[in-house]
């Protein structure tokens, strides 16, 4: 599928964002050809997964958005699972459980795609996806398919080597372990329930706005809460009154509202505590 001036608000969990000049969502048969041709043709592009960790500018995105969400599937080889990058995290976690493969349950309830999770090195409940990586296959800067073995030194807190390179993640191989489906499902339920109680799904949002920093000796959400900034609103964007590190779209937010609120929080926290907050969400386009 290809569309011109596609509103990105329809493809992000924040439900904000102006038009992309060109939005392509290739089916599985054509995905690799399209992806390679963007790189070969030197065409400016942005790779979109589930849109769950981004704020797209109200002005939209110039160039092409390559939507990976139809590029999904999974293969099992022993205790390894191989996912195409557009596979939804929910599906990946579910399939692992069905195959009695433990490891990924910590991701239960997290929106987005496997490709986005690797790019972000998504983490929660004490685990990061990098812990389970065997290889990541990308289309590299020369439009060649290239399989990269996992190197722990290249990954860190919310950091992957792909953040520094204009490449497209196409396949991810994870190494899991045998576990009873029943036990995996118990863990999945526990995490989705916890997210639900914490209000993750109440309003459009992108999860945690800021990274946590060990040097602050408390979670960022707690710092914001202690400064009495919960409930603070700019336009239609609001710091959730139930979670200091979540900004919600109350229905009418623009990307500008969200960005202004992020900047205001950073300024207030710095002025009042000396801590410099670092956004975890990515601001795209403009």
Answer yes or no whether residue 245 interacts with ligand FAD by CB under 6 A.
no
The residue from 9, 60, 123, 237 that contacts ligand FAD (CB under 6 A) is 123
Answer yes or no whether residue 76 interacts with ligand FAD by CB under 6 A.
no
Window 125-184: residues binding ligand FAD (CB under 6 A):
162, 168-169
Contacts within 8 Å (CB) and 24+ apart, 126-135: 128/155, 128/157, 129/174, 130/155, 130/160, 131/103, 132/103, 132/104, 132/174, 132/175, 132/176, 133/172, 133/173, 133/174, 133/175, 134/80, 134/173, 134/174, 134/175, 135/172, 135/173
Answer yes or no whether residue 212 interacts with ligand FAD by CB under 6 A.
no
Answer yes or no whether residue 111 interacts with ligand FAD by CB under 6 A.
yes
> Which residues does 83 contact at the CB level (< 8 Å), separation at least 6?
72, 73, 74, 92, 114, 171, 172, 173, 174
Instruction: Pick the stretch among 26-34, 142-150, 201-209, 228-236 that binds ligand FAD (CB under 6 A).
Output: 201-209
Active site residue 280: yes
The phi, psi pair for 44, rounded to 5°, reads: -60, 130
Active site residue 187: no
Terminal CA-CA length for the chain: 24
Q: Which is nearer to ligand FAD, 15 or 233 (CB)?
A: 15
Answer yes or no whether residue 232 interacts with ligand FAD by CB under 6 A.
no
Q: Which of 6, 187, 225, 280 is catalytic?
A: 280
Q: Which is nearer to ligand FAD, 176 or 195 (CB)?
A: 195
Contact positions vs ligand FAD (CB under 6 A): 13, 46-54, 68, 85, 110-113, 115-117, 119-120, 122-124, 162, 168-169, 200, 205-207, 282
User: Could you give the residue numbers annotated as active site?
Assistant: 208, 280
């Amino acid at each position: 599928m290809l569309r011109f001036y596609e509103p990105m608000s329809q493809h992000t969990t924040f439900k904000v964002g102006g038009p992309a000049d060109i939005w392509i969502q290739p089916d599985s048969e054509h995905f690799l050809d399209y992806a390679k041709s963007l790189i070969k043709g030197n065409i400016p592009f942005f790779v979109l997964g589930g849109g769950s960790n981004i704020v797209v500018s109200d002005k939209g995105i110039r160039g092409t958005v390559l939507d990976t969400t139809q590029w999904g599937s999974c293969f099992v080889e022993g205790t390894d699972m191989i996912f195409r990058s557009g596979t939804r995290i929910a599906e990946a976690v579910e399939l692992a459980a069905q195959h009695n493969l433990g490891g990924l349950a910590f991701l239960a309830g997290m929106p987005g795609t496997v490709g986005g999770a690797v790019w972000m090195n998504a983490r929660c409940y004490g685990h990061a996806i990098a812990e389970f990586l065997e290889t990541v296959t990308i289309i590299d800067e020369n439009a060649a398919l290239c399989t990269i073995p996992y190197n722990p030194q290249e990954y860190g807190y919310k950091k992957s080597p792909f953040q520094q390179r204009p490449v497209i993640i196409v396949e991810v191989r994870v190494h899991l372990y045998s576990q009873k489906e029943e036990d995996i499902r118990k863990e999945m339920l526990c995490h989705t329930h916890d997210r639900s109680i914490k209000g993750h799904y109440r309003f459009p949002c992108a999860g945690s706005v800021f990274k946590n920093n060990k040097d602050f000796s408390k979670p960022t959400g707690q710092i914001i809460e202690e400064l009495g900034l919960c409930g603070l609103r700019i336009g239609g964007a609001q710091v959730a009154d139930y979670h200091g590190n979540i900004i919600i779209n109350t229905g009418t937010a623009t990307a500008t509202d969200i960005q202004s609120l992020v900047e205001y929080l950073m300024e207030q926290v710095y002025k009042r505590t000396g801590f410099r907050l670092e956004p975890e969400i990515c601001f795209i386009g403009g």
